Structure 1
Amino acid sequence: MDYKKKIYILLAVGIFFLSTSGILIKVASAPPLITAFYRMFLTVLILTPYFVIKHRSDARYFLDYRPMLVGFLLAVHFILWISSIQYTDISNSVIFVALQPLFTIILEYFFAREDLKEGAIIGIVMAVIGSSIISIGDFYQLGDKLFGNFLALSAALFASSYLFIGRGVRKKLNYFPYLYILYSYAALFLGVGVYLFDIPFTGYGTNNYLIFLALALGPTLVGHSILNLAVRYLPTSIVSLSILGEPILTTFLAWLLLNEQVRITTMFGGGFILGGIYLASVYNNHQNKKKNKLKQAQS
């Protein structure tokens, strides 16, 4: 088996672990803020020995305000997304969070002066249509699932914001120390939130602590690490688009393991959203390749 096939298999494993996060969060009985805190705290705890041994010289970047800001945005993203799963179906939540690439394209248009190409516009329109279809299907539960959908949508916006703002820091730092500092600040802000809201840090039972550990090890460490590895060997477009498999797989796992039914409106709306993300991502990656070739020709 050649290395590319191995990377594709590894990528599929990474997507699988990422797709388990919604299931794990759904079965946890701890408050969303506690779940988010322990997910980040345990991740940082596991990564600390390697950071101290290999990357302690990068600790100076803890004093840079940008990782602190990005860590705050990541913390808010986790709070919103984990909370959304308490109010709406897992399928709805993961589909709305998957809108992150479209929000990134919009942020690039407003703040990085990137042009909105035709494909990106079509993708955004399709995503808006899909979101409307899902929301109409949830309208009869206005105070419940519609609110959960809004939280998931907001989580996607904060996810794209922390990725967008963090680009400048990522150019200075290697991926591992950047993630470590980012996760550390996210854990810190989440811990402050737990303290301010006077939520107990302990007393959630063995099952919940095992779920927290599973979230740290599976979706966070294994899932994200594999995506980072895959980007080094496969085109970014392939890795980005493979992430679209996460909401599909999560929805299937929710149906299989939690007996969560998927409504027709979710399937149709989700199809529009995922199709829109696919179109926008393909066009965006295509434009980036053209720009890079033009820069190389000019240099």
Structure 2
Amino acid sequence: MQTPPLMTDRPALLRNRARADADALFLHGEVLAEVEERLVEVNRAFTDVAVVTGFPGLWARPGAVVLPDDEVLDLRPQGHDLVIHALALHWANDPVGQLVQCRRALRPDGLFLGFLFGGQTLAELRACLAQAEAEVTGGLSPRVLPMGEIRDLGALLQRAGFALPVADSFTKTVTYRDALALMRDLRAMGEGNALMARLRRPTRRGVLLRAVELYAEHHAGADGRIRATFEIICLTGWAPDESQQKPLRPGSAAQRLADALGTDELRLPVRGGDG
């Protein structure tokens, strides 16, 4: 079987992260607050926590094991009751493999929380860069990481063997002076272009200037500042366990739906093959 081409250039990604500025990592702070809120709702004490992240300093917590998002995760099988994949899964060359490894690291009825950028992230920047490059050079090159849609990402949880899978999202809109300021901030976040198929030469000045113009024309507010959208998807799943709630078998209901609704049941006529 042919191995699919790698999407992410891991050495480039690690270089980008090493140059990141802690003051620009505010989206990790948003995700951390979201994790804490969701764990309060779960109302369970977790004692063996693992966090997978590209920024260990931000996620270090007493008693938690913090490890990098390598292709092979350094997780002990059934060694944890909570695994958090913290805003790094969008860079995985094998996201299903990452999820499977996290599920195997959980004890029965252990919880997985995964956060990653979703398909609406940087939609404005992607559109402006694509139009600018097409106008100036007549072609297109990979510049922004392709990110999954929420429905597809939720299906990955099922493929990885999680029970009770749920995918939901929230959106953060951030404003900048102009598109160049946004691009600088992305580099400071460690989220610069690390695609394997990226151009290995600097972007032409004309492309950047045209993208700045298009962004200001289509995505600026009344104050002249441009808007940038970040969609953050949360994947929630549980390691299977016999104690978990299971769907009822078809035909096992104790009460007819019509009785519950207080209506009459309509029986459709049986039609034969001739109609």
Same fold judged by TM-score > 0.5? no
TM-score, length of structure 2 as denominator length:
0.24
Q: Identify which of structures 1 and 2 has the higher relative contact order when contacts are C-alpha pairs closer than 8 Å and 6+ apart.
A: 1
Query: Could you say which structure has the higher helix fraction?
Result: 1
